[in-house]
Structure 1
Amino acid sequence: MKCDFLAIGAHPDDVELGCGGTIIKLIAEGKTVSVIDLTEGELGTRGTAETRAEEAANAAKILGISSRENLKLKDGFLNNSEDYQLKIVEKIRKYKPEIVLANAIDDRHPDHAKAAKLVSDACFLSGLKKIETFDNDQPQEVWRPKHIFHYIQWKNVVPEFVIDISGFIEQKIEACLAYKTQFYNPESKEPVTPIATKDFLESLTYRAQDLGRLSGVEYAEGFTTEKLIALKNFDGIICD
């Protein structure tokens, strides 16, 4: 079950919106990526938990990820409790990711920042030997990811680095649009929400394009990091 990257989102569609292009690129490069949704998004104005589950499954196929799970924590009421921490620790030890991609540390939806801290703390706790967890009644080995990177969501958080997703933007948009109940549809009779507008849909492209403009590529996704990153050398840095 080990994966190279584990992408975690408070709600189904968070990872697609925040780092979908990066996920698709990683998989194209031969990396393994799994996704965990913390809640079912059951408090969302549009759609239901059932439709979101179906949409998440469709999006997973487009992304090409190895697996996707939903922890069914309480939407709108995420908290940094021992119970929630241990549920995530179990998954970290199950998948043993080298890198975790998590929600934005500051965002419009309160669940996003709460999830960012919850996941960060769980990653640390997952490396403590005296915390015992089990998978199918079998004791799990301790595991602590090397890095936690936070993707950018609603707010224009200044990224500490970007990933070039040129060539993958269309597939990212396709994965996002798998959530048919959530985003812009002029024929929908459901209430209009901030993410269900035409402007928001268009922003997925122009925000990635703007980060690309600033970094010398066509399209990019931005991330923040919890600890200072050391480069072995300057290979791989894109210079315009």
Structure 2
Amino acid sequence: MKLDILVFGAHPDDAELGAGGTIAKEVSRGKKVGIIDLTRGELGTRGSAEIRDKEAANAAKILGVEVRENMEFADGFFVNDKWHQMEIIKMVRKYRPEVVICNAVDDRHIDHGKGSKLVSDACFLSGLVKIDTQLDGDDEWQQPWRPKRVYHFIQWKNLEPDFVMDVSGFIEKKTEAILAYGSQFYDPKSKEPETPISSKNFTDSVIYRARDLGRLVGVEHAEGFNVERYVAVDNLDDLI
């Protein structure tokens, strides 16, 4: 299956938090979008890997993505080495996306920056013809594929975006997908330990960041992204 957009997140819920509005909007435009989680989030203070598997599946249905896979890398301990890069290359070549979106280039959680660089490096390597890969159980060698663009969503840290995506009208869908992770976010009835993302303030912050970015560009809500090369436009009317 060829996808238009492939979104990578170090943990289940990263894609929703960083780019949920963008995913929902692109799906509504007829784009084929997929999500790949690098880990099952098994080191998370709240919930469990099994619970998060179910939550991720529910969030994927809400967003309407074509496919969601989990690489089952070791939460907290995966590294940017040849083995991990080769596994990501297989996914890039499997789905042949035009655009890849992945974790923030710098963030509070160590997996976010690691995941960002791992995916970015693998996207480049995926285009090299002398790197041979096969999917498990497949006799055919995969063809090289390099996405045209790699973008990085913004997470905990308030990084300065290189561009913002107007997601007005899709913030409710983003919020619904985030709240599908009931084990992770604000629940006044929960008896689990508090974490930096379990407070109501954190959930609210996702919305007011989108509102503030939207305010700065004259729309209702927006999500911010960083780029790896200059953003180019065909004409000035492309800007909003």
- Pick from 199, 202, 205: which aligns with 1:200? 202
CA distance in 2, matches of 1:86, 1:141: 13
Residue 84 of structure 2: SS of its match in structure 1?
A: helix
Partner of 1:66: 66
Partner of 2:41: 41
1:218 maps onto 2:206 in alignment: no
- Pick from 161, 164, 168: which aligns with 1:162? 164
Residue 164 of structure 2: SS of its match in structure 1?
A: strand
Amino acid at match of 1:90: K
1:16-165 maps to which residues of 2 (within 5 A)? Answer: 16-135=16-135, 136-165=138-167
Residue 221 of structure 1: SS of its match in structure 2?
A: strand
Residue 24 of structure 1: SS of its match in structure 2?
A: helix
Partner of 1:5: 5
Residue 46 of structure 2: SS of its match in structure 1?
A: coil
CA distance in 2, matches of 1:235, 1:143: 31
Structure 1 residue 234, shift from structure 2 partner:
1.7
Structure 1 residue 100, shift from structure 2 partner:
0.2
Residue 197 of structure 2: SS of its match in structure 1?
A: helix
TM-score, normalised with respect to structure 1 = 0.98
Structure 1 residue 235, shift from structure 2 partner:
2.4
CA distance in 2, matches of 1:78, 1:157: 24
Amino acid at match of 1:71: M
For structure 2, list consecutive stretches of 5 or more residues without a partner in the other structure: none
For structure 1, list consecutive stretches of 5 or more residues without a partner in the other structure: none
Structure 1 residue 232, shift from structure 2 partner:
1.1
Root mean square deviation of aligned Cα: 0.6
Instruction: State the aligned residue count.
Output: 238
Moved over 3 A (4+): none
Residue 122 of structure 2: SS of its match in structure 1?
A: helix
Residue 170 of structure 1: SS of its match in structure 2?
A: helix
CA distance in 2, matches of 1:188, 1:86: 40
Structure 1 residue 180, shift from structure 2 partner:
0.4
TM-score, normalised with respect to structure 2 = 0.98
Amino acid at match of 1:37: D
Partner of 1:237: 239
